[in-house]
Amino acid sequence: MKYYPIYLDIANKRCVVVGGGEVAERKTRRLLECGARVVVVAKTLTPFLERKGNEGAIEHCAVDYEDSCLEGAFLVIGATDRDEVNGRISDDAGARGIPVNIVDDPARCDFILPALFQREDLVIAVSTGGKSPALAKKLREELERRYGPEYAVLLNILGDLRETVVAKGLPSAENKQLFEAIVNSDVLQALREGNWGRVSEIILRITGLHIGPEHFTADGITGHKGKRRKREG
């Protein structure tokens, strides 16, 4: 089976996670990071999920699974250790036209979740079509070593520049050429070295625009003082 790669906007959308263990916790954490309204269906929860429920960050349905728990859901994740329950979740979601993921059971899934490597807004997803999560994890770790925090800084710079450049009303081909020139310059090396003056020079030469030190921040790297900070987590 080939999967159609897609990034979903789930902000403020009701996403149901069935299960209260460590796997359900991992899925819930990711959903919360993306701004979803998460409903966790389980009688018992991990300490993290229990805390989030007490804080009102998630809705906790303290019941065994019932199909009524899926009403109004944008997507569903089944993360229980009971095959019979996971089968019911898949069938019930399918009957309602709700996309469902059953952890470690691709045959019961409408979608699978890739291994993710993320640096702020830069997200690289690795999928093996559900065949080998271990290989997906290995590739993700290799990507993490390859693409440092300087890529997040460059992405922030490009995002800000894009608004200004597009507003000029130039032909799209000309804009494309300009941004490709930035990406193919030695700007990434300058960012790795913390040479913010050189970064500004490159951007000014290619675009005619000046960028200030406020752009030089990202997870794992900080700006005009050329210091690095420890990555969280």
pLDDT of residue 167: 86
CATH number of 114-146: 3.30.160
- Token digits of residue 207: 């675009």
- pTM flag (> 0.85): no
Q: What is the pLDDT of residue 233?
A: 29
- Per-residue pLDDT band for 213 (boundaries 50, 70, 90) equals low
Of all residues in the chain, the percent with pLDDT exceeding 90 is: 65
> Would you say residue 225 has pLDDT above 60?
no
Confidence of residue 129 (pLDDT cuts 50, 70, 90): confident
User: pLDDT tens digit string along 62-102?
Assistant: 999 999 999 999 999 999 999 999 999 999 999 999 999 99
Architecture of domain 14-113: 3-Layer(aba) Sandwich (3.40)
Q: Which phi-psi region, left, alpha or beta, contains residue 226 (left: φ > 0; alpha: ψ -120 to 50)?
A: left
d(CA 91, CA 100): 9
CB 24 within 8 A of CB 85: no
Where exactly are the structural domains of the chain?
14-113, 114-146, 150-215
- CB neighbours of residue 85 within 10 Å: 16
- Nearest CA to 41 among 15, 25, 20? 20
- The pLDDT score that the predictor gives to residue 209 is 87
Largest CA distance in the chain: 63
Confidence of residue 1 (pLDDT cuts 50, 70, 90): low
State how beta strands 100-102 and 14-18 pair: unpaired
Determine the length of the chain: 233
pLDDT of residue 72: 96
Residue 220 pLDDT > 50, yes or no?
Answer: no
* The predicted structure's pLDDT at residue 97: 97
